Amino acid sequence: VWACLSPQIRIFYTSSSNLLIEEVADALNGFIGTDKDETLYSAIFGITKDIKSKNTGDVFNIEGRSGKGFSLILRTSGGSTTGIHPNLIIVDDAVGQKDRTSQAERDEKEKWFDTLNPLLVPWFDPVSTMKIETILYIGTVWHFRDLTNYILKKNETLPDHLKWDIEIESIYKPGERPKSNYPD
């Protein structure tokens, strides 16, 4: 996104797995260097870490960022969203072990998910007039009434101009008689 669109785009990445968050942070640290000759990605795209700004395991800043907020914030799903002003939110596997077995946890995750949309701040490209103000949700369905189902049901009630674009991998195995792949 930063290389192809703009280093000014601010991203919030969230997952239920701390391990996945750490893997994403480690991968970014491997791709993006502090100068243009440190990594191939930085050399090709000119995207480098901003060493004058905060860079930790859960906050990442690159050169060229402007305005309020960090280039990337990584946090566990269901947690705090204080101080986040993203243009793009990536919700990657937000459902954790507790959501799979507890209705109360699923209810809390739904409330948390509803707080994400108001956080979005639009980013405009003045040349192409492209606008980014997006939530990308990626998830495995672990329960019939988990967050994915909540999003699908909520989408049915929205006016057309507010509906999500949804693509779903089948819950059925190809070539088999239709049978749910849900663990429960």
- What's the pLDDT score for residue 180? 53
First to last CA, the chain: 37
Per-residue pLDDT of the chain (184 residues; tens, 9 = 90+): 999 999 999 999 999 988 999 999 999 989 998 988 899 999 999 999 998 888 887 889 999 887 777 899 999 998 888 778 899 999 998 888 888 889 999 999 999 999 999 999 999 988 888 999 999 998 877 777 888 889 989 999 999 988 888 776 655 555 665 555 555 4
- What's the pLDDT score for residue 71? 92
Residues 6+ apart with CB under 8 A from 131: 122, 123, 124, 125
- State pTM to two decimals: 0.86
d(C-alpha 86, C-alpha 71), whole Å: 8
- What's the pLDDT score for residue 172? 55
d(C-alpha 13, C-alpha 76), whole Å: 8
